[in-house]
Amino acid sequence: MHHNDENGFFEGLFCFFKNLRESMGSRKKFFSFLRRNIPNILTLSRIFASFFIHSLMMGALYSFFVHRQIVWDPSLTKITICLVIYAQVSDFIDGLLAWLLEIETEWGGLIDRYADKILNTPFFLWMIAFYIIILASNLSNILVYLIIAFLLALATLEVILAWYAHKGSQLKLRIKPSWAGKIKMFLECVLATVWLIGFLVPGIWNLNSSSQEGMKLILVILILATFFALGSAYGYYKDHGRELSIR
């Protein structure tokens, strides 16, 4: 897109679909639109995949309140795992394609940052709800307390990073992706994948399990992800903190 670099998320999204509709009348225009927007299409597909992932999580929690146990459909869980992996792969590919094809835009970078937050922040809240359910059945499990604490910290950092992205867009700041942010996103997707796989393997970290191995692995990944989230937030503040605080 040539004219949405200065727009916010929703204005740019409107321009994207407007350009798509206008390109449908000509094959040449349509393929030109695709070439210019391949990275944005990948990023938007990640956002749509996130809504499917969250709907599964909502259904699982609903089953607990209805049946007093969390019910996971193995097929849907496998699909969700594939979507989480797709989210990680597309997060790497969209930026790489934008750089290789020289079609990087401010709006593309903005929706990339929003896509990460739309996927991860609600997912952490689902995990917190799940571990609170475990905690209710075993108040002496220190691992659960630690996991909940780090999930809350990570969710809070994601909200702060989302605010930085939103404020930076309003102030027209050129905020470049950082390696700390990319590593954080990778670890968060590993966290979601490992956590979901656990529900396909009986006796690892489901509600009736006494085994701690799964939760120890989750905690290690959480600690690493929180460390890189702090690094990403520090990078934002170091590069743009003065502009954000002044305005």
Three-class HEC string of 28-96 = HHHHHHHHHHHHHHHHHHHHHHHHHHHHHHHHHHHHHHHHCCCCCCHHHHHHHHHHHHHHHHHHHHHHH
Question: Using CA atoms, how far apart are residues 4 and 105, in angstroms rounded to an integer?
Answer: 8
Residue, of 188 and 6, whose pLDDT is higher? 188
9-238 topology per CATH: Four Helix Bundle (Hemerythrin (Met), subunit A) (1.20.120)
* 18 has a pLDDT exceeding 80: yes
Please state, for a pLDDT cut of 90, what percent of the chain lies above it: 13
* Residue 153 confidence (pLDDT): 93
Mean pLDDT of 142-154: 91
- Which amino acid is located at 140 in the chain? S
Residue, of 198 and 122, whose pLDDT is higher? 122
Which of 137-146, 206-215, 232-241 has the weakest average pLDDT?
206-215
Q: What is the pLDDT of residues 155-199, one digit of tens each?
A: 998 888 888 777 776 666 666 667 888 888 889 888 888 888 877
The CA distances from residue 113 to 118, 134, 170, 232, in Å, are 9, 32, 14, 12
Residue, of 110 and 30, whose pLDDT is higher? 30
- The interaxial angle of helices 106-137 and 179-198, nearest 10 deg, is 40
Instruction: Assess contact for 111 and 12: CB atoms under 8 A.
Output: yes
Question: Using CA atoms, how far apart are residues 25 and 59, in angstroms rounded to an integer?
Answer: 41
* 151 has a pLDDT exceeding 80: yes
Question: Using CA atoms, how far apart are residues 183 and 239, in angstroms rounded to an integer?
Answer: 19
Instruction: Supply the pTM of this predicted model.
Output: 0.77
Q: What is the pLDDT of residues 29-87, one digit of tens each?
A: 888 888 888 989 999 999 999 988 888 888 777 777 777 666 667 788 788 888 888 88
- Name the band, by pLDDT with cuts 50, 70 and 90, for residue 208: very low
